[in-house]
A and B are shown apart, each in its own frame.
Chain A
């Protein structure tokens, strides 16, 4: 189904990536190429923490376990198109890794629509994609906005009156390493093959460093 992805949308997202590509640079000539966008210097999100709804609201720091990677997504449970597509691609990407590699990758989703996504609903949603996933939810609008800003994510929820609220959100998946650095981000429409390939590069690198 990847081939059906509308080219227009993917390329407009890619155009935005291009606009940002000027801030990136290659780390050495022998660095393996990755599809995702890497900002340099890698933004530090290690100080950030959000309540983990699946763990009684205990603060969860957005940094991976030693030698691992944390995938962070800003979405909402009533998202019918973009979020489930990305979740599905992520799941396929992760399943193509070795079991040992899979054990080192964790997923966290931050809801941008906490008024409709209750703790319980968000936890169920996240766990149906990733059994060990983290459901991050805060009702503090300032805290949510600051968290999104740390990742460079944007969102908005406009009351739709009688109809559905109009929700706007950045469709990126963010890859954070064990030092809490935002190493890579994938725009909506990144194929699961590309995600898997990038994850392998970063996981191999983490082993080399350990």
Chain B
């Protein structure tokens, strides 16, 4: 337990000092933004909002994801969100809407559970495993990019 506690303490320090890098050292230098592994978790019966996740790798110049959109037969509205730990203790979590997401040149930004996500507000129909839908991501530099989001369980 003691060693675990120390390890956790080190992890905390590392995280708060921003020492944990999330970047992906991709080698090649693509000139355009690349979006990979776009997926959304299947929804439960009665679940009205969903989330999509993906990896976005910047091109040769810094870029910024401005908006996301999907056909109305998927969701009424789409927002860029981040799940954050709220102040006040007990590990309460909440989501905040982002007005954009920076994608630095040649760096990979991860959108993943418990972090950045594309929030699908008022789903028109449940998200079913094996299906997929289009999501249009609009970047400040790269412009609109259509990605196919596949629905999975995990």
Contact = CB atoms under 8 A, between A and B. Distances in A.
B44 A81 contact: no
B114 A85 contact: yes
Interface string A83-115: 011011100100000000000000000000000
Contacts of B112: 1, 4-6
Residues of A in contact with B, size category: 35 or more
A121 B46 contact: yes
A153 interface: yes
B12 A15 contact: yes
B12 A84 contact: no
A188 B46 contact: no
A169 B83 contact: no
Contacts of B41: 84-85, 88
A168 B113 CA distance: 16
Interface in B46-92: 46-51, 53, 81, 83-86, 88-92
B6 to A, nearest CB: 10
A13 B129 CA distance: 30
Contacts of B5: 18, 21
A124 interface: yes
B119 to A, nearest CB: 5
B145 interface: no
A168 B14 CA distance: 26
A12 B115 CA distance: 12
A84 B9 contact: no
B8 A6 contact: no
A12 B85 CA distance: 7
Contacts of A65: none
A103 B70 CA distance: 41
A172 B91 contact: yes
A71 B93 CA distance: 19
Given A81-B95, A124-B45, A5 B113 contact: yes
A18 B153 CA distance: 31
Interface in B6-44: 8-9, 11-12, 14-16, 20, 22, 41, 43-44
A187 interface: yes
Contacts of A15: 8, 12, 15-16
A164 B121 contact: yes
Interface of B: 1, 4-5, 8-9, 11-12, 14-16, 20, 22, 41, 43-51, 53, 81, 83-86, 88-95, 110, 112-117, 119-121, 153-154
